[in-house]
Amino acid sequence: MIARVRVWWTILRIALEDRLVYRGDFALGTLMRFLPIITQIFLWSAIFDALDRGPAGPSRIVGYQFEDMVAYYLLTMLARAFSSMPGLASGIALQIRNGEIKRFLVQPVDLLGFLLLTRVAHKLAYYSVAVGPFALVFFLCRGYFVHGWPDASTIGLFALSLVLSFLLGFFLEACIGLMGFWLLEVGSLLFIYMLLSFFLSGHMFPLDMLPHPWRELVDLLPLKYLAYFPAAVFLDKLGSDEIARGVVVQCVWLAVFIVASRIAFRRGIRRYSAFGG
Amino acid sequence: MESPRRYLGILGAFARNSLMRDMAFRADFLIECASSVSWALMNVGLYAIIFRHTRMIGHDTGWGRDEFFVFMATTWFVHAIVQALFMPNAEEFSELIRTGNLDFALLKPIDTQFLVSFRKVDWSALSNLLSAGLLLAISLRGLARREPNPLTFDPVTLFLYPFYVMCGVAILYSVMIALASTSIWLGRNQTLYDFWFYITNFSRYPMEIYQRGWGRPLGAFFTFIVPVLVVVNVPARLLAQPLVPRASWEWPLAGFTVVATTGSLAASRWVFQRALASYRSASS
Amino acid sequence: MAIIEVNGLSKSYRVYQKPEGLLASFRGLFHRTYRDVRAVREIDLEVRQGEFVAFLGPNGAGKTTTLKLLSGVINPTSGSARVMGHVPWRRENAYRRRFALVMGQKNQLWWDLPAIESFRLHQRIYGVEPAAFHRNCDELTELLDIRPLLHQPVRELSLGERMKMELTAALLHAPDVLFLDEPTIGLDVVAQHQIQTFFRHYQEQRRITILLTSHYMKDVAALCRRVVIIARGRIQYDGSLAGIIDRFSGSKIVTFQFAEGQSAGDLSAYGEIVELREPKARLRIARNEVPRALAKVLASHAVADVSVEDPPLEEVIADLFTQVNGRPAEPDRGDAVGEPMDEVGGVVP
């Protein structure tokens, strides 16, 4: 057990060091992530500006006032910092194509476990630098959180939904990457995923804005847990029964993708060995 | 540049080789085309949803749905050209630096910036020109029926629109090549594309949205220092005419755009030359 | 007439020192330590028109850096150089039309297209007249025996074929000066030999000036009369290949053939025994000891035959490189710049 922990720790540490070497990249990348928020703030401000002001209180779109919209956008940024997995699927597919994946047949390390740890390390390295800018931006934008801090239980649920969104994002993309055993090129699959999540995860706009059949469809898909759900939990846009249902559905999806990735890996490896790689 | 004809000939050869290469991988090419077009459709979808909930972007700015779709089509024109001509080259430039293959570019008896900037053409990106054309046609048809000020075309606009689209291309190119040059100093520069996207992101919306509070200095920065705001705004405004009659500041802005284009090109060339001087050529 | 003149040419790099350990990596985000690496130090060199000069040296000695300086790819820290009257790092088009650099480890042809397309591009870039282009292209592809491969995508060619295509591309504009950096690296013996033959033929015919770096002594021995040895960024030797032995080898190989029934006995007092197979013995003896050792052995043994030879060239050079690299390290060793460090023994093919 201790040996195992030590192996994990080594993997984690190497991945962290690898991340931190390229300083210029890192600093620029982190800083730049916040630029789109600025345009979004101005864009939404202008959109709300043009609305007819209601007789009572600020103008709203599907229950969101301007400040909510910005807060929502900030929170989805945070959620996506957990749920997005840059390079994961394409990395797995590449390893399959160039045969590097064989390493995991020889070494006593589990591929998915290894990737998950590396990903955790990447995320930790990222957060260790990004926490500053994130805190700063949220502090500067505290005015947009018109209802202040939510209560402790909501924060707990929010944290839970973030962790779940990380795991869901990871296993979902791992599944896409593992399709590389069967497809020559997962690029187009990944593209479809990105396209759908661009629209249906809610990181461009609150999903409540979707018109009729789409709104109901999105509730059944796993994508909304990658961005919309944590933000909506934090902003108290969901009733407690909706949250409970959401967490359950999310857990079901997570289980589905964990099992799917296991199966895909095992079958893929078998197929790989059968073909002689 | 000694002989424009020679450079044009070389450009033709680059374009030809790239097309031959693209055609060798036809499936990839089609997928690329399909993906650019789908992104475009998604964007239309996003704003179609937004315009279900609002009439206009900004109070009294005139950017209603059809006007904004003209704006969006213009964005696509500019970006399709930039992506086709320069994006693959800027990405490859970082790669050339990393591998030391920039050596070969430096050996050639032509302008190095020209060679590095135009080496490859991504023909699939041009598919967005079609989407842009289609969106433009549909939204202009809508604008021709606009109440109370239906859109009218005059020949000057028809000449100026493509001219300012090309100015926009030149400005974005300058930003891109200057950014790509920084990888000589910063080493591996994977975030180049992100960085470029974030900066040019400012150009994707009507400049009126930066009209209040701290938007003003920001708008000024992206107009006068890094002039990405004029890239789409000037040609789109010329064509869609959100404000009737035209505002007094529109023509001076158009004049400034010409200055900004020249300035950007000069500045990016300076950065490029400085970067080359620091190039140290990776070994083996 | 000197076609290449180099005076006091130096090149230093600042190299980022990657810290070890996690904490240090974090610190590296904010504060970095650099060290200076002097890749080329105060090199003086003069090459006449039509010479074929080899640069020899251990990995990272500064050979490639020198070639890159002369082709204007990088700027020097100090010193001057003129090639055909041009300062290389000004990168004037007039200069760039007249030379070529071929690097065995890099390729510039379009990977997915037939080589002929890259050649046509070169024709345009160098402004080669169509007639000259066809003549050169025909001649080169004929000499290198790659004519039938011109219309195959480059990625489908073997390493040797690809190198020949690279050479053709580099020579299409008929350069007057050619820099070759490890042109035969990684190639099989046949391809190596073909390319050697090609260079000899091409150089004899055109009388162009060629500077070559190579790890293969066979390349050097077959092609170059003049050899420049660079180590630690400095020129250590400049002269003929044979002269290297006189200069750097401190020993001779002495072979005794003893008379019938004569036992060699203990010879180790005279020198290092290389081979002992009675009645024959080969000894390595320090050069200034040779007369004394000979006299003693001849006096104490019945000797049927004796020969005194120089040690093999490869061995001398390998020894030389090992010596140079093995010296206690100065802080500014030049090895961070050149090729990746591998065995110095790579000198021997």
pLDDT value, residue C198: 94
Which subunits have 3 or more CB–CB pairs within 8 Å of chain C?
A, B
Specify if B212 maps to a domain: yes
Judged against a pLDDT cut of 60, whether residue C346 lies above it is answered with no
- pTM, entire model: 0.81
- In sign, the C-alpha dihedral spanning B142, B144, B149, B153 is positive
Distance in angstroms (rounded) separating the CA atoms of residues A195 and A176: 14
The 10s digit of each residue's pLDDT in B259-272 is 999 999 999 999 99
Closest CA in chain C for residue A126? C26
pLDDT for B139 equals 94
CB contact under 8 A, C28 and A23: yes
Q: Does B28 fall in a domain?
A: yes
- Interface check for A32 against chain B (CB to CB < 8 A): the answer is yes
Q: What would the pLDDT profile of B197-244 be if each residue is shown by its tens digit?
A: 888 888 999 999 998 888 899 999 999 999 999 999 999 999 988 887
- Which residue of chain C comes nearest to A10, CA vs CA? C22
Contact B204 A39 (CB under 8 A): yes
Q: What is the average pLDDT value for chain C, to the nearest integer?
A: 84
Note whether residue B138 is domain-resident.
yes
Per-residue burial over B267-276, b = 16 or more CB atoms within 10 Å of its CB, e = otherwise: ebbebbeebb
Does B284 fall in a domain?
Answer: no
pLDDT tens for chain A, 277 residues long, are 677 778 778 877 777 776 666 555 565 666 667 777 888 889 888 888 888 665 667 788 888 889 999 999 889 988 988 998 888 898 888 888 887 877 777 776 788 888 898 888 888 877 877 777 788 788 888 888 888 888 899 999 999 999 999 999 999 999 999 998 888 778 878 888 888 888 889 988 899 998 888 888 888 899 999 999 999 999 988 888 889 999 999 999 999 999 999 999 988 888 877 665 4
Chain B residues with CB-CB distance to C97 below 8 A: 109
Closest-approach residue (CA) in chain A for B61: A50
B188/A22 CB distance under 8 A: yes
Q: Kindly tell me the burial class for residue A82, based on how many C-beta atoms sit within 10 Å of its own C-beta (0-12, 13-18, 19 or more).
A: buried
**C-beta atoms of A27 and C29 within 8 A:** yes
Q: What is the structure's pLDDT at B190?
A: 60
Contacts of B2 in chain C (CB under 8 A): 93
Q: Is residue B210 one of the residues assigned to a domain?
A: yes
Q: Which residues of B154-193 are buried (b: 16+ CB within 10 A; e: fewer)?
A: eeeeeebbeebbebbbbbbbbbbbbbbbbbbebbebbbbb
Is the bond into A58 cis (omega within 30 degrees of 0)? no
- According to the model, what pLDDT value does residue C336 have? 33
Q: Cβ of C22 and A23 within 8 Å?
A: no
Tell me the pLDDT band of C22, cut-offs 50, 70 and 90.
Answer: low
Query: Which residue, among C337, A25, A157, C73, has the nearest Cα to B112 in the 3D structure?
Result: C73
Task: Kindly report the number of other CB atoms within 10 A of residue C29's CB atom.
Answer: 16
**B39 within domain boundaries:** yes
Q: How near does any CA of chain C get to the CA of B121, in Å?
A: 13
Which of A36, A45, A199 lies nearest to residue B198, judging by beta carbons? A36
Do B242 and B62 touch, CB atoms closer than 8 A? yes
Round the average pLDDT of chain B to a whole number and report it: 89
Domains of chain B: total: 1
Chain A contact partners (≥3 CB pairs within 8 A): B, C
CA dihedral over A36, A37, A42, A47, signed as positive or negative? positive
Across the A/C interface, how many CB contacts are shorter than 8 Å? 20
- Provide the pLDDT confidence category of residue C51 given band limits of 50, 70 and 90: very high
- Residue keyed to tokens 């810290």: C19
Chain C residue closest in CA terms to B280 = C74
Residue B266 lies in a domain: yes
**pLDDT (tens digit, 9 = 90+) per residue, C160-183?**
999 999 999 999 999 999 999 999
Cβ separation of A20 and C25 shorter than 8 Å? yes
Residue in B60, B186, B205 closest to A43 by CB: B205
Local structure of B104: helix, strand or coil: helix
CB A31 within 8 A of CB A133: yes
User: Does residue B282 form part of some domain?
Assistant: no
Nearest-Cα distance to chain B for A88, in Å, is 15
- Structural domain boundaries enclosing B113: 2-277
Predicted confidence at residue C320, as pLDDT, reads 78
Among B108, B112, B283, the residue with its CB nearest the CB of C339 is B283
For residue B57, give the nearest of A29, A46, A199 by CB distance: A46
A82 CA to chain B: closest CA distance, Å? 18
The contact set of C with A (CB < 8 A) is: 18, 21-22, 25-26, 28-29, 32
Inform me whether the pLDDT recorded for B163 exceeds 50.
yes
